[in-house]
Amino acid sequence: MPNRLLLHVAENKKLEAIATRNRLTRPIVDRYVAGRGLDEAWTATKALNGAGIDVSLDLLGESVHHLAQSKAATQEYQGAIENIRNQAPGSTVSVKLSQLGIMIDPQECANNLKALLNAATTHGATVEVDMEHSSVGRETLAIYRSILPDHPNTRLAIQANMRQTPEDLLSFTDIKPRIRLVKGAFDESSSAALCNADEVTEQYKYLSRWALQHLPDPAFGTHDDTCIDVVKETAAELGLDKRDFEFQMLYGVRRKLQDELVRDGYRVRVYLPYGTQWYPYLMRRMAEKPANLLLFLRSLIGG
């Protein structure tokens, strides 16, 4: 389970300012972040494409409190979408609705998302919507539902740890959503979420079977061997082709496993973050793998 203390640290603005200014954090940042700008992100994308791996581009930045910031993020994403066909066809973009303004004005956020979806339709790209903390979860689901009839290919991240998730999935009666099933990366209360790692893994396995049976083109966002094996076995048992679903992993995590999956004939997509606002994203990665924290702290104090 993600380390709760680190998830709190992820929200600390003072530590963010210190860590972001400190150039010594670079090596650990570079492991998880593909570059500061879109050009570097394309370079990393092309290297992965060369290995048979697709990419979902993520512009770092979240929880914005000014509409100007959400407009700027929308424009940056539009630039990426307009170039996908030329630079790296088959790529998607992953957006966080807290970056598109959901905490300021949900309607404005929905408009920003629609602008990206329209650009994606024009330029042959697909959008994926990340699922963030439960404080914006209901609104995220509502906005996703509102765009689904016009943009049924849009993928939504679904968190296995959330108690509400099975009900949410069953509530899609008309259009079956394309989902990215993840364990869940945020600090949640025990009333809202399963807090035991084994329980979350069991729920992930249960939901992955359900998704393979009932949903179109499901994606499995995990690096957990147990979960990956269950997906492979269940798909084979259901008579699905290896290309009827995809595995997704984070940039910098389990690179060898990504190659092995490609070699075995599975589709693999890497979630590729870029930009300067890496701190909360990186701290969530530290929370998933606290062993990496030591490296990060050493870099902060120059050790």
Give the active site residues: 130, 180
Provide, rounded to whole angstroms, the least separation between the CB of residue 72 and ligand FDA: 21
HSE-up of residue 274 (Cα within 13 Å, Cβ side): 21
In which residue are the tokens 């963030």 written?
132
185 is in an annotated binding site: yes
114 CB-contact burial (10 Å; exposed 0-12 / middle 13-18 / buried 19+): middle
Using CB under 6 A as the binding criterion, the count of chain residues that bind ligand FDA stands at 25
Using CB under 6 A as the binding rule, whether residue 285 contacts ligand FDA is answered as: yes
In this chain, which of 235, 250, 261, 283 binds ligand FDA, going by CB under 6 A? 250
- Annotated ligand binding at 103? The verdict is no
Nearer to ligand FDA, 120 or 227 (CB): 227
140 labelled ligand-binding: no
Relative to beta strand 219-221, strand 267-274 is unpaired
**Of the listed pieces 46-54, 175-183, 206-214, 235-243, which binds ligand FDA according to CB under 6 A?**
175-183
Nearer to ligand FDA, 7 or 117 (CB): 7
Shortest Cβ distance from residue 122 to ligand FDA (Å)?
Answer: 25
Q: Among residues 28, 70, 37, which one has the least CA distance to residue 272?
A: 37
Shortest approach of ligand FDA to residue 81 CB, angstroms?
Answer: 19
> Which residue type is seen at 214?
H
293 touching ligand FDA, by CB under 6 A: no
The least distance separating ligand FDA from the CB of residue 278, rounded to whole angstroms, comes to: 13
- Residue from 35, 101, 137, 221 touching ligand FDA (CB under 6 A): that is 221
Least distance in angstroms from the C-beta of 46 to ligand FDA: 19
Distance between CA atoms of 24 and 280, rounded to whole angstroms?
Answer: 17
Q: Which is nearer to ligand FDA, 5 or 66 (CB)?
A: 5
Burial of 292 per CB tally in 10 Å (0-12, 13-18, 19+): middle
Select the span of 46-54, 117-125, 209-217, 287-295 touching ligand FDA (CB under 6 A): 287-295
Using CA of residue 184, residue 22, residue 94, residue 76, what is the dihedral sign? positive
Q: Pick from 151, 155, 178, 183: which binds ligand FDA (CB under 6 A)? A: 183
Our CB check for ligand FDA shows the closer of 122 and 297 to be 297
Beta bridge partners of 239: none
Residue 275 near ligand FDA by CB under 6 A: no
Nearer to ligand FDA, 151 or 183 (CB): 183
- Out of 25, 159, 165, 208, point to the residue binding ligand FDA (CB under 6 A): 159
Indicate whether 249 belongs to the interface with ligand FDA (CB under 6 A). Answer: yes
Binding-site residues for substrate, in ranges, read 96, 284-285
Q: Which residues of this protein are in contact with ligand FDA, per CB under 6 A?
A: 2, 130-131, 157, 159, 180, 182-186, 221-224, 248-250, 253-254, 271, 285, 288-289, 292
